[in-house]
């Protein structure tokens, strides 16, 4: 048992593993009660509750694993509110805060391929717990938690109504609905077979054109990650729409498996990552809603983010990759927006949690109130800041964790001084290795916390330069 416990490690957002291999009912029955106990030890003095929210996404047997979590947690004396359906992870974070719970345990593997499942741990405040809390969970796993003489109560609840009403209150929902009903804006949504299914429809009505709504634990043979390679159908739908209707605006939203990450597609079927959406959201929320507070970005965020923040005299705080670091900052200081390169965006007006459905509503509000296509809005910000760039990322599978260790040692013992023919002028090691080059472009080399994968990120003045630098980095790694 101790060997199993010592092998359970939490990554940037929770514990994940391959179903039937690392992720099993046996292991979950070890982790869940320990996570509940640590939530109690950490937060009971703040909340005075013994209730734990348990939720899940649409992955293979997710509801069965969630029930196993609920049973294990009630067995040690905690009360459980078990979701009666799938829902976005942020809906369970919202429920934890609204229902005065110690926190939430959510069965999800987010954007990972279909073979994976996992457990996310949320605090009473409505966001990811800190790295210190997950370390406490790992430590207590070696001891375990004894069953209680009196088990806790198990009840079910519907997470959707309170969550969607809360989101509607954040925007001018009537203005958005009117723009859609009148044909001024057409909204497409690719929910990638995940937990965002029905979400925009519940918020905006039946006019949303949703695709990949069915439950498919194999995610069409891909992964529920908002990346262009998975979006062929959405691109085609928007192009066809543009050919038939050239008068109105169109936008497509893409949601990851548990609906905490987002990307968008503009009216010309161009992919817009959060590197583009975050600057647009900063501009909209400050200029039209007069939101205040600092901007929190991860180290892999675009250089356009601080430039747009500077337009509005907003300060910028930089963190390691992983939304829990942003959540920590949101709990410590007034924050307008916190966002990460991989699509997670959260708001000081909401809980300290990335929330893709709220991001979609704010982006829609920006489109409706500006009257601009998202692509045009982005180009306007580039002109205003005098900064134009391109960005891309490669996730490079590694043969094993041993290969990962060798590459990491090489970076530590043989520092890079030149990349793709350009001198390295600075290296930021807050998370991985981010090399600033002589032409002010940058390359970031970072290892996944949950898989044998090397992540390569680059921003440069042109897409050609980005791809040249990434090709150099890929060759270096191989």
Q: Whole-number mean pLDDT of the chain?
A: 95
User: What is the pLDDT at residue 103?
Assistant: 98
**Considering only CA atoms, which of 36, 34, 132, 126 is closest in space to residue 88?**
126
Confidence of residue 269 (pLDDT cuts 50, 70, 90): very high
Query: pLDDT tens digit string along 82-134?
Result: 999 999 999 999 999 999 999 999 999 999 999 999 999 999 999 999 889 99
User: What is the pLDDT at residue 450?
Assistant: 62
265: pLDDT strictly greater than 80 = yes
User: What is the pLDDT at residue 452?
Assistant: 82
**Considering only CA atoms, which of 105, 45, 58 is closest in space to residue 79?**
105
Query: pLDDT tens digit string along 177-197?
Result: 999 999 999 999 999 999 999
Query: pLDDT tens digit string along 131-181?
Result: 899 999 999 999 989 888 999 999 999 999 999 999 999 999 999 999 999
Q: Is the Cβ–Cβ distance between 201 and 167 less than 8 Å? A: no
Does 249 or 399 have the greater pLDDT score?
Answer: 249
Given the DSSP bridges, would you call strands 271-272 and 294-298 parallel, antiparallel or unpaired?
A: unpaired
471: pLDDT strictly greater than 90 = yes
Beta carbons within 8 Å of 141's beta carbon, 6+ residues apart: 5, 6, 8, 30, 31, 34
Confidence of residue 401 (pLDDT cuts 50, 70, 90): confident
313: pLDDT strictly greater than 70 = yes
- Round to whole Å and give the CA distance between 154 and 80: 5
User: What is the pLDDT at residue 22?
Assistant: 93
- Round to whole Å and give the CA distance between 322 and 319: 8
1: pLDDT strictly greater than 60 = no
Among 25-39, 269-283, 295-309, 395-409, the least confident range: 395-409
Query: pLDDT tens digit string along 25-75?
Result: 999 999 999 999 999 999 999 999 999 999 999 999 999 999 999 999 999
2: pLDDT strictly greater than 70 = no
Domains and CATH numbers, the chain: 2-159 (3.40.120.10), 170-385 (3.40.120.10), 390-477 (3.30.310.50)
- What is 188-226 written as a DSSP string? EEE-TTSTTTTHHHHHH-TT-EEES-S--TTGGGS-S--
- Round to whole Å and give the CA distance between 398 and 418: 23
Among 81-90, 152-161, 342-351, 442-451, the least confident range: 442-451
- What is 230-286 written as a DSSP string? G-HHHHHHHHHHHHH--SSEEEEEEE-TTSSBEEEE-TT--EE-HHHHHHHHHHHHH
User: What is the pLDDT at residue 13?
Assistant: 78
Among 72-76, 238-242, 402-406, the least confident range: 402-406
Confidence of residue 300 (pLDDT cuts 50, 70, 90): very high
Rg (CA), the chain: 22
What average pLDDT does this structure show over 212-235?
A: 96
DSSP 8-state code for residue 23: B
Query: pLDDT tens digit string along 354-387?
Result: 999 999 999 999 999 999 999 999 999 999 999 9
What average pLDDT does this structure show over 265-282?
A: 97
pTM for the model stands at 0.94
Beta carbons within 8 Å of 413's beta carbon, 6+ residues apart: none
User: What is the pLDDT at residue 246?
Assistant: 80
């Amino acid at each position: 048992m101790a060997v199993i416990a010592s092998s359970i490690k939490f990554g940037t957002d929770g514990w994940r593993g391959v179903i039937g291999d690392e992720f099993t009912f046996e292991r979950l029955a070890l982790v869940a009660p320990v996570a509940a106990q640590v939530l109690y030890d950490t937060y009971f003095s703040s909340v005075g509750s013994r209730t734990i929210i348990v939720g899940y996404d649409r992955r293979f047997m997710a509801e069965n694993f969630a029930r196993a979590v609920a049973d294990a947690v009630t067995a040690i004396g905690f009360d459980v509110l078990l979701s009666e359906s799938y829902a976005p992870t942020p809906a369970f974070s919202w429920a934890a805060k609204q229902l005065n719970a110690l926190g939430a345990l959510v069965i999800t593997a987010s954007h990972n391929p279909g073979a994976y499942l996992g457990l996310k741990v949320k605090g009473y405040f409505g966001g990811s717990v800190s790295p210190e809390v997950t370390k406490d969970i790992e430590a207590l796993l070696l001891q375990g938690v004894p069953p209680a003489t009196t088990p806790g109560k198990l009840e079910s609840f519907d997470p959707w109504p309170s969550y969607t009403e809360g989101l509607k209150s954040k925007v001018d929902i009537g203005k958005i609905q009117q723009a859609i009903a009148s044909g001024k804006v057409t909204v497409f949504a690719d929910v990638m077979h995940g937990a965002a299914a029905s979400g925009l429809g519940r918020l905006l009505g039946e006019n949303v054109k949703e695709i990949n709504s069915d439950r498919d634990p194999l995610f069409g043979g891909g992964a529920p990650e908002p990346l262009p390679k998975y979006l062929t159908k959405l691109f085609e739908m928007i192009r066809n729409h543009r050919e038939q209707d050239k008068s109105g605006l169109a936008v497509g939203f893409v949601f990851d498996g548990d609906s905490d990450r987002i990307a968008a597609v503009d009216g010309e079927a161009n992919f817009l990552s959060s590197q583009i959406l975050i600057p647009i959201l900063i501009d909209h929320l400050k200029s039209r809603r007069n939101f205040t507070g600092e901007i929190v970005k991860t180290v892999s965020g675009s250089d356009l983010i601080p430039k747009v923040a500077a337009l509005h005299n907003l300060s910028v705080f930089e963190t390691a990759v992983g939304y829990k670091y942003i959540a920590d900052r949101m709990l410590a200081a007034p924050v307008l927006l916190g966002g990460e390169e991989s699509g997670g965006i959260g708001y000081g007006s909401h809980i300290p949690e990335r929330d893709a459905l709220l991001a979609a509503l704010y982006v829609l509000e920006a489109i409706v109130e500006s009257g601009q296509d998202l692509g045009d809005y982005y180009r306007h910000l580039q002109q205003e800041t005098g900064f134009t760039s391109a960005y891309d990322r490669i996730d490079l599978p590694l043969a094993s964790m041993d290969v990962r260790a060798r590459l990491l040692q090489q970076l530590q013992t043989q520092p890079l001084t030149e990349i793709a023919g350009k001198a390295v002028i600075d290296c930021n090691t807050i998370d991985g290795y981010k090399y600033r080059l002589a032409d002010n472009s940058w390359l970031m080399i970072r290892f996944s916390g949950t898989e044998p994968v090397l992540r390569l990120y680059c921003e440069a003045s042109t897409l050609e330069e980005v791809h040249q630098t990434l090709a150099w980095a890929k060759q270096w790694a191989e």
